[in-house]
Amino acid sequence: MLKRLPFLCAALLALAACSHDSDTSGPAQPAVTASTPATATTAAPAGAMTAATPAAASSAAPAAADTTADAAEPAPAVAAAPFVDNGKWVEGKNYFVIEPAQPTSHPGKIEVTEVFSYGCPACNGFHATVDQIASSLPSNAVMNYLAASFRPDENWPMYQRAFYAAQALDLVGKTHDAMFDAVWKSGELSTYNLKAGDPKPKAAWPTIDDAAKFYAKYGVTAQEFTGVANSFAVNTRMKRADDLMKAYGVDSTPTMIINGKYRFTPITAGGFAQSIELTQWLVAKEAAGK
């Protein structure tokens, strides 16, 4: 097993990942820097550690409609770029084919989905890049988000529940950026003591009731939010999100999914800027039917 790096070193690295690790003895840690992108030629994406069997559920085809959310604010239409394959992006190295391809929830649109968690330090570091990706999408593409829960030792199921409750209440567009800030800047909803860099005792972790107080600033009551968060509908969305993530073959966050057919991480892309470029290239590839 890889040795864990000190918490918050994600802030010092240009590129990182939170991985699906069955060892729950401590927080997930960043992987390698962008200067050493993965060179694997197999279908498994790079990450700090590999998941046990992420492809085991790939034979299923869970619906994406209830688990993804559109971008916070629709970006101005960008002209679609023509598809040109100059050999820069290599299948099996920079991006990976999802087999079988998974259904999407926006007919006629190319879906660009980030698999993330508010509790993932690497996702927080990548968040500004995702905003750039969303704003760079052409009019034939749409931005989505898929909340992961595979780090219960870092309170990710609570963050996932909060996300899908916010989605059900149509609050994601108002709160997505603010949630990252509440976890990683103000510490209002952090599972860690940000100053000390240590995890809080489990009894001090933020709960869904704490999240409800945060969301109450955006047009709903805390009681309403908690009721939706604990509903059968949100439980169902969470289960479908977990199934869809497994079907995608995701073993770390952040991971980008293009139209249910391709996945990559900032590591396999080679960096944050390259992630924007690779997204645009795969969108163009899809649009061209290649």
* Of residues 146 and 59, more confidently modeled: 146
In percent, how much of the chain has pLDDT > 70? 73
The predicted pLDDT at position 230 comes to 98
* Domain at 54-72+87-287, CATH homologous superfamily: Glutaredoxin (3.40.30.10)
* Tokens 């990548």 found at: 126
Residues 6+ apart with CB under 8 A from 276: 129, 132, 133, 136
Give the separation between CA 282 and CA 242, rounded to whole angstroms: 24
- Kindly report which listed range (35-44, 130-139, 213-222, 265-274) carries the lowest average pLDDT score: 35-44
pLDDT, mean over the chain: 81
Distances (CA, A) of 13 to 27, 130, 194, 247, 257: 16, 17, 17, 29, 23
Say which residues have a Cβ less than 8 Å from residue 186's Cβ, sequence separation at least 6.
Answer: none
Q: What is the DSSP letter of 249?
A: T
Q: For residue range 183-232, what is the model confidence (pLDDT) as tens digits?
A: 999 999 999 999 988 889 999 999 999 999 999 999 999 999 999 999 99
pLDDT at residue 286 above 90? yes
Decide: pTM greater than 0.75: yes
pLDDT tens digits along 122-131: 999 999 999 9
Q: According to the model, what pLDDT value does residue 220 have?
A: 97
For the chain, what's the residue count?
290
Closest CA to 115 of 208, 25, 51: 51
Task: Over range 270-285, report the average pLDDT.
Answer: 97
What does the pLDDT average to over 173-178?
A: 96
* Domains in the chain: boundaries: 54-72+87-287
Higher pLDDT, 64 or 133: 133
